Structure 1
């Protein structure tokens, strides 16, 4: 009989919550299968909750409290877990934050900035500080740490989603950071590609009109749930799970992929841009005098 992996309850609120759930369930003499059947949920969902990887739905928490005679403990603590999970992230991002950990595939088009999962710490700080000029250092640190934790998704050897990003060439040429740090940001992306963790395609600057020119998008697929898509603005995010709409966004993404450069050429372009930054080359800039 397999021995359940020990949970580090000190890792955070979700892990503490999950460990307590396992303790109470085993104390009551219930298997995962039996508790899941009574709560009309999957065994895999309950197992993920116990490991601190998934949030317990409020209606399931009410059932668990009743089944394990825990006097409302899990229902009362649901919001604590939810708040801990989204700390450092915008509230509207919570659903995607959980979905990323369960996704089989993640496909992303990011025309404005390097996607959060691919950012170096220096790049993150530059974005946060540029957006919130009067933010306290501890607030920025919380956001940076939260995003760095998200990126650990590529370090789990047991469950790494297939991640596919499409980026515009202009993103490689936009000096968001000093040259050496820009080189490190592009080196980081190239290293993830070469380790087989991600796929990246570049849309050349002269590719002409192409799908999703006015949108960013993330499409996520799962083994045991319908796909969903996510779009984000400056101060809001929108998660779409309507099958018809998700299908349309998926088609647009596939057409965009067809317009992008092949994987090998894209990697070569990323590495060449990194080398240019490293050698002190600066992207061509428009002279203000030539602007109408």
Structure 2
């Protein structure tokens, strides 16, 4: 194992914090102090640290490179179970043996057309394509975002504030599609959208949200998209799946300017938080920072409308969007 001094030197040499540094860090015990300077970005693994981060190794191992290595290993197992050689597979699917080998080693991304051909060849009854879809979704999703989404299924309580949009876990496909259309134009984001919209079903945590009033009034994707989105949220509230409070537009507190963040509580580990910024995010386990965000959350909920009044506001906004869409329809005929 690298000594801490040597490891720091290795990291300083690779100032871009590429995958090699992440691999070096993965040899450290999880309870070792993080050698990365606070707020330094691991551009390939998506790691951001605040003071002492004991979870760096786990985060480094979540990079997209490892996703395709795992998928490639799965393809190799399928090939061996089918009793085929790499040359035989390459001939069957119309690829070079070298490329098939690189896909199995995770050195090349497997294209959907190749996954379909391998699905037919190995006869996995849809399992291979399903695994490809999930791998593709994970590799497309920004790794800094995945740090938080991977915490979600393990949490017992999640509190989230988003200053500009409805939180991703609550978004409908149409709403998410509209945000990606403007935020990441030209990219095929369908697999990411599918993964985002399926996150809620995997959560067992108590879910609480605060959103500013203007988020309800911001047309994302048009009146119909907003009507369907707000109706979806109302149904979640009525089913007691979530608690959502609306922060009034005319509020005396400036706490809503602090930015987007999530607080995670667990039954079997210490709490964590995740704060987002324009180009990434920060995973936080420092007690003083957690306390500060907890106080901030308390301020937001104190100044927000109570859940009952907030729900009525959402219903009212949904009706307005629905009426606007109905009035628009005759002009389109």
When normalised by structure 2's length, the TM-score is 0.56
Out of 235, 238, 248, the position equivalent to 1:204 is 248
Alignment counterpart, residue 242 of structure 1, candidates 281, 286, 306: 286
Identify the residue that residue 151 of structure 1 maps to in structure 2. Answer: 200
Determine the structure 2 residue equivalent to 1:37: none
- TM-score, normalising length: structure 1: 0.64
Which of 132, 135, 145 lines up with 1:93 in the alignment? 145
Q: Deviations for 1:40-68, whole angstroms, at most 9, x for unmatched residues? A: 9xxxxxxxxxxxxxxx969xxxxxxxxxx
Equivalent position to 2:160, from 108, 113, 116? 108
- Find the aligned partners of 1:96 and 1:224 in 2 and give their Cα distance: 17
Per the TM alignment, residue 208 of structure 1 is displaced from its structure 2 partner at its CA by 2.4
Which residue of structure 2 aligns with residue 18 of structure 1?
none
Partner of 1:171: 215
Structure 2 gap segments, 5+ residues each? 1-29, 31-56, 60-72, 74-104, 107-130, 326-333
Give the superposition deviation at 1:126.
0.4
CA contact (8 A) 1:88 1:145 kept: no
* Structure 1: 4+ residue segments shifted above 4 A: none
**Aligned-pair Cα RMSD in Å:** 2.8
Partner SS state of residue 124, structure 1 = helix
Does the C-alpha gap of structure 1 residues 57 and 107 become closer, same or farther in structure 2, counting only changes over 3 Å? closer
Task: Say how many residue pairs are matched.
Answer: 202
Separation of aligned partners in 2, 1:192 and 1:109: 17
Is the 2:262–2:273 Cα contact (8 Å) retained in structure 1?
yes
Which whole-Å CA distance do the structure 1 matches of 2:263 and 2:58 have between them?
A: 23
SS in 1 for 2:255: coil
Aligned to 2:189: 140
Equivalent position of 1:127 in the other structure: 179
Number of the residue aligned with 1:47: none
Of the three residues 310, 317, 322, the one matched with 1:273 is 317
Which of structures 1 and 2 has the bigger CA Rg? 2
- Secondary structure of the corresponding residue to residue 209 of structure 2: strand
1:219 aligns with 2:268: no
Task: Provide the rounded CA distance (Å) in 2 between the counterparts of 1:127 and 1:153.
Answer: 23
CA distance in 1, matches of 2:147, 2:258: 23
**TM-fit CA distance, 1:152:** 2.0
